[in-house]
Structure 1
């Protein structure tokens, strides 16, 4: 099993996790740990099992065997919604905001634990509900400003480009105040100028102490952002290390150029 060096306990642990679909093993006894405050990359050739591993961590699918822990808590059978409540949130490779809602409304929908979500609170505690709604609106506007979309706050999400939708997705995730963010190919479909903005915003969020686990095919982005990289091939952990180290590992070169699935 891959373990972190001596230091703070991991914020996320994957222990001998496998996922089988009939006779196909998509993830085969994967183990790794995510350290607090790091940006950890997960890379590998097409068909390596990265997306399945990501879905297992996010709670979209349940493992066939093994354990997934957030901190010390086993969340292997918990839903994605429950994991959000534990501080783990994710973005998607293809963001799907509500197209007819404004950017502000899309971000507000991600707010957790609002008193106004409970019917009777609106009658019994109207002052508290109004105060929370005002605070949420202010927070949402701050996040839209942070991702450089404040000028479009009241525009419908359908007007956004692909890169802008990635930025909106980042604002929506941050609205839930997560401790860990799973990023699913943040560079996919993004032009060069907006990619620089996304990289800069991820770094800025990470500097506040938020931990990241990201899947990405853009190796340049991985090398610029990630403190450590995991490489998967054929559903298994092939190697791990710094971006420079894994890029020179003969096993990684063989996996990418030798056609490992």
Structure 2
């Protein structure tokens, strides 16, 4: 589904991501692990279009996307979340979700004058989809509340609903478990599994090894900007280089 070949990115010094190549299979939940500074977020930014690679190619379903703007990548079916969600705090939870689908007719001010009926009909459809996904993530009761009242875990669920309303085929999740209380983390994991069963693919950056080992197959390991290995969770856990560098010498 996603093919990266030789992705390289630097910021004036040694490359932060260097010659990284991998393939994401359709329908997989793939994990991306590595210590702080390994280049994981930079790699995510390259995939999502926030950064342009110095070298290398990237293809989504056969379409070259390296160097495309984030909104173009989003429109092609790949969405991302962030480690620290930033909803529009004064807007309601529902409004935050409704703004996500790209290319809405109401975004062009003249369409509101020339085709008000079409704009209103599309807004009703978007609202229905937004309410569906808010119900899916368990935030329906907060739909009319301002987003600023949400907890950290609830903001991550809101961000998930916000990308889902655009119906992406591939979702990049940046540390969905970071700072989330165990009950909400369990909910997030359940939603990932349910979405994957419906055909959505995932690439997940995560430091929570329990989440990675239980959800992700395969797992990519990044070290000092380079891909150290790729394999099933059991193989990653057993690899001495990974144990020493990422999981700790005490983990079998």
Task: Specify the alignment match of 2:244 in structure 1.
Answer: 254
Task: Specify the alignment match of 1:172 in structure 2.
Answer: 162
Q: Is 2:115 the partner of 1:159?
A: no
Task: Specify the alignment match of 1:234 in structure 2.
Answer: 224
Task: Specify the alignment match of 2:188 in structure 1.
Answer: 198
Task: Specify the alignment match of 1:81 in structure 2.
Answer: 71
Q: Is 2:117 the partner of 1:127?
A: yes
Divergent runs of 4+, >6 A: none
* SS of equivalent to 1:154: coil
Task: Specify the alignment match of 1:21 in structure 2.
Answer: 11
CA separation in 1, counterparts of 2:244 and 2:141? 47
* SS of equivalent to 2:10: strand
Q: Is 2:171 the partner of 1:181?
A: yes
Task: Specify the alignment match of 1:98 in structure 2.
Answer: 88
* SS of equivalent to 1:221: helix
Measured after TM superposition, the shift of residue 118 of structure 1 is: 2.0
Task: State which drifts further: 196-205 or 19-28.
Answer: 19-28
Measured after TM superposition, the shift of residue 73 of structure 1 is: 1.6
Q: Which runs of 5+ in 2 are unaligned?
A: none
Measured after TM superposition, the shift of residue 142 of structure 1 is: 0.9
Measured after TM superposition, the shift of residue 228 of structure 1 is: 0.7
Q: Is 2:21 the partner of 1:31?
A: yes
Q: Deviation per CA, 1:146-185: give whole Å up to 9, x if none.
A: 1100000000011110000000000001011111100000
* SS of equivalent to 1:120: helix
Measured after TM superposition, the shift of residue 119 of structure 1 is: 2.3
CA separation in 2, counterparts of 1:233 and 1:113? 38
CA separation in 2, counterparts of 1:111 and 1:234? 36
Task: State which drifts further: 100-109 or 71-80.
Answer: 71-80
What count of residue pairs does the alignment treat as equivalent?
Answer: 248
* SS of equivalent to 1:21: coil
* SS of equivalent to 1:182: strand
Q: TM-score, normalised by structure 1?
A: 0.92
CA separation in 2, counterparts of 1:202 and 1:62? 29
CA separation in 1, counterparts of 2:184 and 2:46? 29
Measured after TM superposition, the shift of residue 190 of structure 1 is: 0.1
CA separation in 2, counterparts of 1:48 and 1:123? 51
Task: Specify the alignment match of 2:36 in structure 1.
Answer: 46
Measured after TM superposition, the shift of residue 88 of structure 1 is: 0.7
2:211 to 216, 221, 228: 221
Q: TM-score, normalised by structure 2?
A: 0.96
Q: Deviation per CA, 1:88-143: give whole Å up to 9, x if none.
A: 11000000001111000000110222222222322332222111111111111111
Q: Is 2:59 the partner of 1:69?
A: yes
